[in-house]
Amino acid sequence: MTVTNAGEGIPPSVRLCWRCEIPRGIVRWLLPLVAGFAMLVAVFPWSGIDPFPPECYSIFNYVVPCGGGFAPTAAILTAFVVWLGLVAADRRRR
């Protein structure tokens, strides 16, 4: 059996490419948003104290920087890097 990129001739239950069924535009915007949200949840200071020395904890109970600027910045950068990777992969495929 020959495997092709588009999955032609292969029954849907045996396809190896999960992105073949989802339009590229949706993947190109949805995946970076999910990655950015995951980064926001991972590095946002959910609890902690802010006296000297400042010590805040993430939702997974590890130390993260206190203050609100780091988490959104990391989330935006993560989403941008994932989007850039998807665009580069799409251009390489053409």
- The answer as to whether 16 is a domain residue is no
Total structural domains in the chain? 1
- The answer as to whether 80 is a domain residue is yes
Task: Please measure the distance between the N-terminal and C-terminal CA atoms of the chain and give it in whole angstroms.
Answer: 24
- The answer as to whether 15 is a domain residue is no
- The answer as to whether 18 is a domain residue is no
Of 8, 93, 67, 39, nearest in space to 31 by CA: 39
- The answer as to whether 33 is a domain residue is yes
Q: What token pair was written down for 74?
A: 């990391």
Q: Give pLDDT tens digits for 35-89.
A: 999 999 999 988 887 677 788 888 888 888 888 788 999 999 999 999 999 888 8
- The answer as to whether 67 is a domain residue is yes
- The answer as to whether 30 is a domain residue is yes
The verdict on pTM exceeding 0.75 is no
Q: Which domain holds residue 78?
A: 23-93
- The answer as to whether 11 is a domain residue is no
pLDDT of residue 15: 53
Residue with structure tokens 């980064």? 39
pLDDT of residue 77: 97
Output b/e per residue, 3-19; b: 16+ Cβ within 10 A.
Answer: eeeeeeebeeeeeeeee
